[in-house]
């Protein structure tokens, strides 16, 4: 296959969506709370053996209004927000701090499901960030101590030496979150969420939740 042109277009056109497995979502069974529905879908993805079901795309915007996106993991979710970890020194951390809005996309292809979240962003308080830091492995914490994420990798050997013995590094620097002061959790408000269920017959379902002062309203959208 060549790297472009008709061959590649033909190849792409031949790639099919996987047939959605398992029971399809019936919007009549949707709860009033979209976070409850998200957790239900996440558990169903886990039960069906979805690879990395907690992995999502995090989209942000920089100060010039340019969009950016990357894959991250979901650290936590509650009725107020979806929580993601990012260092303030990384591009995404700077973007979240300066333009506090974000979008998340979860994709569970085996079930033909997508969840989209859009909302304002706020940094977590110290207690929540500290609890998340404690859950990290020694290697992950050590990485944060030498954190310059997304900076140029000038000295790979130095980095691998620094990470070679995370215990020693953590003892030297202190293992608490104060030792990695730029790392924190960020909450993406669940003010607007959309659930997409692909159907075998092409009658896909899209259900949108939008929140105002009186709570969530739902709306079915054309697929
Ligand atoms: C499966 C997967 C999971 C990832 N999870 C995270 C994560 O939880 N946090 C993180 O900072 N980067 C994570 N990354 C790396 C990011 O995609 C990205 O490369 C990095 O955070 C730098 O992004 P930035 O330059 O936009 O700040 C993950 C990458 C992959 C492929």
Q: Is 148 in the pocket of ligand 1 (CB under 6 A)?
A: no
Q: Is 220 in the pocket of ligand 1 (CB under 6 A)?
A: no
Beta strands (DSSP E) in the chain are 55-61, 67-73, 76-77, 81-87, 101-108, 113-123, 183-189, 192-197, 205-212, 215-221
> Closest Cα to atom 19, ligand 1: which residue?
70
DSSP track, 174-196 = -SSGGGSTTEEEEEEE-SEEEEE
CB 83 within 8 A of CB 75: yes
Rg over CA atoms, the chain: 20
> Closest Cα to atom 9, ligand 1: which residue?
72
5-17 average pLDDT score: 90
Closest by Cα among 209, 78, 185, 180 to 121? 185
Q: Which residue has the higher pLDDT, 37 or 140?
A: 37
Q: Which of 87-91, 111-115, 146-150, 178-182 is predicted least confidently?
A: 146-150
Domains of the chain with bracketed CATH: 24-131+183-221 (2.30.110.10)
Q: Is 73 in the pocket of ligand 1 (CB under 6 A)?
A: yes
Give the C-alpha separation, 78 to 68, whole Å. Answer: 25
- Whether 207 shows a pLDDT value over 90: the answer reads yes
- Whether 131 shows a pLDDT value over 80: the answer reads yes
- The pLDDT score that the predictor gives to residue 161 is 61
- Whether 153 shows a pLDDT value over 70: the answer reads no
Q: How confident is the model at residue 135 (pLDDT cuts 50, 70, 90)?
A: confident
Q: Is 89 in the pocket of ligand 1 (CB under 6 A)?
A: no
Q: How confident is the model at residue 80 (pLDDT cuts 50, 70, 90)?
A: confident
Distances (CA, A) of 155 to 33, 61, 124, 166, 216: 48, 30, 32, 18, 50
87-94 average pLDDT score: 92
CB 100 within 8 A of CB 122: yes
Q: How far is the CA of 134 from the centre of ligand 1 (A)?
A: 19
96-120 average pLDDT score: 97
> Closest Cα to atom 22, ligand 1: which residue?
150
Q: Is 72 in the pocket of ligand 1 (CB under 6 A)?
A: yes
Closest by Cα among 119, 110, 131, 133 to 22? 110
- The pLDDT score that the predictor gives to residue 46 is 96
What's the chain's average pLDDT?
87
- Whether 168 shows a pLDDT value over 70: the answer reads no
Q: How far is the CA of 149 from the centre of ligand 1 (A)?
A: 9
Q: Which of 24-28, 35-39, 177-181 is predicted least confidently?
A: 177-181
Q: Which of 67, 71, 99, 103 to mutate to test the pocket of ligand 1 (most atoms within 8 A of CB)?
A: 71
Q: Which of 62, 73, 105 to mutate to test the pocket of ligand 1 (most atoms within 8 A of CB)?
A: 73
Length of the chain: 223
Return all residues near 25 (Cβ < 8 A) that are at least 6 apart.
41, 113, 195, 197, 205, 207
Give the C-alpha separation, 156 to 139, whole Å. Answer: 16
Q: Which of 176-180, 196-200, 210-214 is predicted least confidently?
A: 176-180
- Whether 187 shows a pLDDT value over 70: the answer reads yes
Q: Is 86 in the pocket of ligand 1 (CB under 6 A)?
A: yes
Q: Which 3-state string (H, E, C) describes 51-77?
A: CCCCEEEEEEECCCCCEEEEEEECCEE
23-31 average pLDDT score: 95
């Amino acid at each position: 296959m060549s790297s472009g042109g008709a061959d590649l277009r033909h190849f792409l056109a031949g790639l099919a969506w996987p047939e959605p497995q398992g029971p399809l979502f019936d919007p009549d069974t949707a709860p009033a709370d979209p976070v409850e529905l998200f957790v239900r879908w996440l558990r169903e993805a886990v039960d069906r053996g979805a690879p990395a079901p907690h992995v999502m795309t995090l989209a942000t915007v920089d100060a010039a209004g340019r969009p950016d996106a990357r894959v991250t993991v979901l650290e936590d979710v509650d009725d107020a927000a979806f929580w993601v970890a990012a260092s303030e020194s990384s591009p995404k951390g700077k973007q979240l701090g300066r333009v506090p809005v974000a979008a998340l996309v979860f994709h569970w292809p085996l079930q033909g499901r997508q969840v989209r979240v859009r909302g304002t962003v706020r940094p977590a308080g110290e207690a929540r960030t500290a609890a998340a830091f404690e859950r990290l492995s020694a290697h992950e914490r050590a990485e944060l101590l030498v954190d310059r994420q997304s900076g140029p990798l000038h000295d790979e050997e130095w980095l691998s030496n620094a990470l070679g013995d995370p215990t020693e590094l953590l003892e030297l620097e202190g293992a608490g979150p104060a030792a990695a002061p730029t790392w924190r959790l960020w909450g993406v408000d669940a003010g607007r969420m959309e659930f997409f269920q692909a159907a075998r017959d092409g009658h896909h379902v899209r259900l949108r939740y939008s929140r105002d002062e009186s709570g969530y309203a739902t709306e079915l959208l054309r697929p």
